[in-house]
Structure 1
Amino acid sequence: MERLFKLKQNHTNIQTEIVGGVTTFLTMVYIIVVNPAILSAAGVPFNQVFMATVISAVIGTLCMALFANYPIAIAPGMGMNAYFASVVATQGLSYQVIFGTVFLAGIVFIILSLTTLRETLIEAIPPSLKFGITSGIGLFIAFMGLKMSGIVVPNEETMVAFGDLHAPGTVLTLAGLFITLILMTWNVPGALFIGMVVTGVIGFFTGQLSFHGFISAPPAPVFFDIDISGVFSNGLYTVVFAFLLVTIFDTTGTLIGVAEQAGFMKNGKLPQAKSALMADATATTIGSMFGTSPSTAYVESTSGVAAGGRTGLTSVVVAILFAISIFFTPIIGAIADLSAITAPILIIVGCFMMEGLARINWKSFDEAFPAFAIILTMPLTSSIATGISIGFITYPLLKLVSGKGKDVHWILYLFGVIFVLQIVFFPAH
């Protein structure tokens, strides 16, 4: 175990890694319920998506653990599942054809991951954008926690407003938040995980958390229910490109964010980047073969990192729990339905990820504004990919007009143009 995951070298131990894995799993387990719900609305059988979600998560996360040794979990991405459903609806085609586009995007993804292009991309991103991406993801997941818990609610006049503090779920969230904050202040090991357990216990005794059964037989998986020929006959090349583009930069942004928080970045570079990116590409390809939308590295991995997870052992724990989850769907459904258990963690982790703001040169406008644009856009559009797009567009533009164009890596100009085309012609929803 020590030799495989280098626990001492990463200043961690088995117990801490287990706590990190459990914490990450509990903060992202909602995808097992949400992903099938979204794709089933597009006509894909619920049970098929459920099994595909688990399979892609287990395979991708294990690849991340064994080949990259990072505490980063992979599963079908939020946003891309909604885009999948919207493509099925707008194109008027079968979901099998759209799974074909995901499969082809995954294959291209794998090919790119075998090259140095994606590693070059990570190294080419300037510090201001990296810190902006990290902080933007922090605000994104914190805002997600506020919305999930009802602390922030939609408002027609102001977009959002303060929620109803008399609502049981909101009260439970606030109780869990303050309990966890106290544990964090006292430097209690595994404070995030303990906070979730205490919140769950309170929810159970207040009648908000209930279980209708505990164990059920897993559904049978469906393999290769896709139509690749339909992709070519219907000319869905832009859809393939859209899936590829969003998956690449969603994952790249998340990898940077989690790696910065965990201290993995070395001189602006991410060691084992190729292996980490290949894990995501593999999960996307295999997931499409079983029936789910593209996979991505999960921002919720930051909760496991905050709980102390530093190696692939954390990811192994996540993968094992995903695999076991197919037998405990009633329990998982109940936990996923009570957002008050995970919302406090997302809010607190969001705070942790703001540290990089102090390292941005705010006195240099051409460095500051692109970072600001990313930080502003991610939570307001609920899209990591959109935030990255805005950053990649504004950074080279401002550098160019300020006479510093030669300081920008050529790949930033290339993707700046690509992102403009993507936003204009096929934005991801």
Structure 2
Amino acid sequence: MERLFKLRQSGTNVKTEILAGFTTFLTMAYIVVVNPAILSAAGVPFDQVFLATIISAVVGTLIMALWANYPIAIAPGMGMNAYFVSIVATQGVSYQVVFGAVLLAGLIFLLLTFTKFRELLLESIPDSLKYGITAGIGLFIAFLGLKMSGLVVPNEDTLVSFGEPSDPQTLLAIVGLLVTLILVARNVQGALFIGMFVTAIIGYFTGMLHIDKIASAPPPVVFFDLDIAGVFSHSLYTVVLAYLLVTIFDTTGTMIGVAEQANLMKDGKLPKAKAALTADAVATTVGATLGSTPSSAYVESSSGVAVGGRTGLTTLVVAILFLISLFFSPIVAAISSLSAITAPALIIVGSFMLAGLANIKWKEFDEAFPTFAVVIMMPLTSSIATGIAVGFITYPLLKVMRGKWREVHPILYLFGVIFVLQMIYFPGH
């Protein structure tokens, strides 16, 4: 262990790393429940998503542990799953076609990991748009949670309105949200997971949650339930680009944030960045072939770092715990079927993702408006791709109008033109 993970060199020990692994797992274990709950709304079989979520998390996290030796866990990212459902609902395509788009994005990401283009792309996109994309996805997720809980319902006159709090399931979601908020406010480790657990217990004793059995053998593996040809026949190029861009921003930003916290950065750079990014790209590719959305580095890894996690031993423990959870699909399926249990986690995760907006120069219109446009368009159009497109069009446009065209990277002008053409000739894609 010492030689493999360089524990002494990193100023840690086996006991600390194991505790950190359990802490990280508890804070992100909600994804095992939430991901199948969301994707099953798009018609993907529950067991398929459950298995794909765990296997992609295990594969990505093991690469991170054994090759990069970082305490940063990988799993299917939030927001990408909600986007998946919106594409199936609005584009009239099967979930197999969207999995085809996910696989293409994963393969491109894998190729970019070994080139300089990934760094060039990251440098070209201004911080304001990066923060805007993350925040827009956060609102998108929170809106999904509000709909799932029944707190927000459709309304013909105003599009949406406040739901009926006296409805038993909505009331349970409110209680679950309040319990989880208190746990988060008190800085309780694993607050989201514990909140779901408490809500599930209340649901069980009030007759809303029905559990037949707790454990069983893992569900069968389903390979290549996807349609790559459909991506081209339906012109879902923007979907591929959206998955690619968000995965790049999300992962890189999270890795840098957690690495800074763990004092792993050297001269402002992340050593072994290629190994860390490969973990994410491989997990995304594997997940797509099995039935899950793109994987990402998890910001919840910071909870493990906070209790002393410094090496890949932390993430090795996380991977082992994910593997163990494979044997609990019946109870996960039961919990996922009651959306009041998972909705509070979505609402709170959404709020976490808005933090970057504090870094926006709101008094500089050419910086503020493109960010605002990205943030507002994602939830209101139910499309992450549309939000990204609007941001990439308005940012260079406003910079040119303000005489600051030199501040815009040439790649951004190229993307702006591509998105304008896409909106004209492939609206809604």
Which TM-score bucket, shorter chain as reference? 0.7 to 0.9
Q: d(CA) in 2 for partners of 1:138 and 1:88? A: 22
Counterpart of 1:71 in structure 2 is 73
After superposition, the Cα gap between the structure-2 partners of 1:25 and 1:314, relative to the gap in structure 1 and judged at 3 Å, is farther
CA separation of 1:161/1:413 partners in 2, compared to 1, >3 Å: closer, same or farther? same
Q: Which residue of 2 aligns with 1:211?
A: 211
Q: 2:180 — aligned with what?
A: 180
Quote how far apart the aligned CAs of 1:276 are.
4.5
Query: In structure 2, which of residues 236, 239, 242 is the aligned counterpart of residue 246 of structure 1?
Result: 242
Residues 192 and 345 in structure 1, CA contact (< 8 A), matched pair in contact too: yes
Number of the residue aligned with 2:191:
191
Q: Distance in 1 between matches of 2:12 and 2:320?
A: 23
Q: CA deviation at 1:374?
A: 1.4
State the shift of 1:39 in Å: 5.0
Alignment of 1:152-171 (within 5 A): 152-171=152-171
Alpha-carbon distance between aligned partners in 2 of 1:103 and 1:87, rounded to the nearest angstrom: 20
State the Cα deviation string for residues 142-164 of structure 1 (Å, max 9, x = none): 22221221111121211111111
CA contact (8 A) 1:65 1:313 kept: yes
Quick one: structure 1 residues 114 and 378, their matched pair in 2 at CA, closer, same or farther if it must change by over 3 Å?
same
Residue correspondence of structure 1 range 264-303 to structure 2 within 5 A: 264=260, 274-290=274-290, 292=291, 295-297=294-296, 301-302=298-299
| Structure 1 pair 150–101 and aligned structure 2 pair: CA distance change class (3 A) | closer
Counterpart of 2:146 in structure 1 is 146
Cα-to-partner distance string for 1:90-148 (whole Å, 9 max, x where unaligned): 69xx95x8876765554333222211212222233222223323332332222222122
CA, structure 1 residues 16+155, in 2 after alignment: closer, same or farther (shift >3 Å)? Answer: farther
The Cα offsets for residues 265-324 of structure 1, whole Å up to 9 and x where unpaired, read as 98997776544443343234334444x3652428xx455656877776675565445434
Length-normalised TM-score, structure 1: 0.78
1:262: Cα distance to partner? 4.8
Checking the alignment, whether the CA contact within 8 Å between 1:141 and 1:350 is kept in structure 2 is yes
- Residue aligning to 1:236: 232
Aligned CA distance change for structure 1 residues 99 and 201 (closer, same or farther; 3 Å): closer
**2:137 aligned residue:** 137
Contact 2:28 2:193 survives alignment (8 Å)? no
Distance 2:355 2:48 in 1: 41
Aligned twin of 1:343? 343
Question: Partner of 2:412: helix, strand, or coil?
Answer: helix
- Report what 1:114 is aligned to: 114
1:30 equivalent in structure 2 = 34
Shift of residue 333 of structure 1? Answer: 0.5
- The correspondence of residues 311-322 of structure 1 with structure 2, limited to 5 A, is 316=316, 319-322=319-322
Separation in structure 1 between the aligned mates of residue 135 and residue 327 of structure 2, nearest angstrom: 37
2:159 corresponds to which letter in structure 1?
M
- Which string of whole-angstrom CA distances, capped at 9 and with x for unpartnered residues, describes residues 2-37 of structure 1? 84685859xx85434423322312145232354356
**Against the structure 1 CA distance between its residues 389 and 235, is the aligned structure 2 distance closer, same or farther, given a 3 Å change threshold?**
closer
CA contact (8 A) 1:57 1:283 kept: yes
Give the TM-score normalised by structure 2. Answer: 0.78
Distance in 1 (alpha carbons) for counterparts of 2:313 and 2:207:
35
Distance 1:122 1:274, change over 3 A: farther
Amino acid of the residue matched to residue 244 of structure 2?
A: I
Unaligned 5+ segments in structure 1 are none
State the distance in 1 between where 2:356 and 2:83 align. 27
The corresponding residue for 1:387 is 387
Q: Give the RMSD, CA atoms, in angstroms.
A: 4.0
Matches within 5 A, 1:222-233: 222-223=222-223, 231=229
Query: Per-residue displacement from partner, 1:354-409 (whole Å, max 9, x unpaired)?
Result: 33323211111101101111111222233333322222221111111211111111
Deviates more, 1:349-358 or 1:116-125: 349-358
The answer on whether the counterparts of 1:21 and 1:314 sit within 8 Å (CA) in structure 2 is no
Question: How much does 1:418 deviate?
Answer: 2.6
Greater shift, 366-375 or 117-126, is seen at 117-126
